[in-house]
Amino acid sequence: MYYNDPRLQFPVRVENPDPRFARALQQAIGGVEGEIRVCMQYFFQGWGARGPKKYRDMLLTTATEELGHIEMLATAVALNLEGAPLSLQEEVSQDAIGGAILNGVNFQQILSSGLNAMPVNSDGIPFDMSHIYASGNAAADMTANVMAESTGRVLAVRLYNMTDDPGMKEMLQFLIARDTMHQNQWLAALEDMGGFEKNFPIPNSHPQGEELQEFSYAFLGFDRDGAEPVQGRWSNGTSMDGKGTFTSRPMEPLGDEPKLAPPPPASGAQDKQMDGTSILAGLV
């Protein structure tokens, strides 16, 4: 169950509103690297956490924090839209220096939201929840979270570099720092669960003896000329999970050409597909 406080986690102020930066900030709200994603991902992982209780607690704690980050960014978008042009006939829409600002505004923020944030990315595309990764495997979820915070911090840094508004830079300094923590936090959770060697390959509950181990640590090449594939840490030495030794080799097909049965008569195919004679005739 959840509670709210009308105040913000961190101050949000905008000195020079720019509706184009409002458009850019939307990526941090509704983009796949954005805050709705981490918020909802941690909530769903937490609500479905089966196993040690402390991971549930940690997930819900940080999910709750992220909800406040969406709020901060939504506030930042609303403030950047104050004073935005509303029509093609306004002066700013005719502005020669800097181009017509209106050209760079997301029209949905005028037409659909009335100068407010929307749960969409910088192109106005609504966030869709297929990006919420909650696999039921705690270690896989942690890798999803490391990824989410990595792309999230990359995005926050790009936004930081995109503006010189002091208020916006300060807010982003805070969000970048939180992403630093959260990257470390999910890596620490993997460590807490036993570290990379105990958890990889994910899932660790599958007996490795059942997999085709000849292919478990081999870097396979698909160069047309049959050349040895490009070498690196991935082709030599102990595997990262400590359970094998990397090798490499070019790959050849091990299977035959697939042979599918002709379609059954009631399946709506063309007669030539169903006709044995045609099939023979069709062979090169």
How many Å apart are CA 255 and CA 245, to the nearest integer?
A: 26
Rounded to the nearest whole angstrom, what is the least distance from the CB of residue 152 to a second copy in the complex? Answer: 9
Please return the burial class of 260, using the count of CB atoms within 10 Å of its CB with bins 0-12, 13-18 and 19+: exposed
Rounded to the nearest whole angstrom, what is the least distance from the CB of residue 15 to a second copy in the complex? Answer: 13
Q: What residues contact residue 145 under an 8 Å CB cut-off, 6+ apart? A: 38, 41, 42, 45, 182, 186, 189
Give the length of the chain. 284
How many Å apart are CA 173 and CA 169, to the nearest integer?
A: 6
How many Å apart are CA 39 and CA 69, to the nearest integer?
A: 9
How many Å apart are CA 190 and CA 204, to the nearest integer?
A: 13
Nearer to a second copy, 8 or 15 (CB): 8
Nearer to a second copy, 38 or 217 (CB): 217
Rounded to the nearest whole angstrom, what is the least distance from the CB of residue 38 to a second copy in the complex? Answer: 13
Nearer to a second copy, 38 or 117 (CB): 117
The span from the first CA to the last CA of the chain, in angstroms, equals: 67
Rounded to the nearest whole angstrom, what is the least distance from the CB of residue 245 to a second copy in the complex? Answer: 10
Indicate if the alpha-carbon torsion angle 186, 192, 194, 197 is positive or negative. Answer: positive
Nearer to a second copy, 38 or 63 (CB): 63
Rounded to the nearest whole angstrom, what is the least distance from the CB of residue 83 to a second copy in the complex? Answer: 8
Nearer to a second copy, 38 or 143 (CB): 143
Rounded to the nearest whole angstrom, what is the least distance from the CB of residue 148 to a second copy in the complex? Answer: 9
Tokens of 238: 């102990």
Rounded to the nearest whole angstrom, what is the least distance from the CB of residue 95 to a second copy in the complex? Answer: 7
Measured CA angle at 54 (ends 53, 55), to 5 deg: 95
* Residue 223 · residue 229 · CB < 8 Å: yes
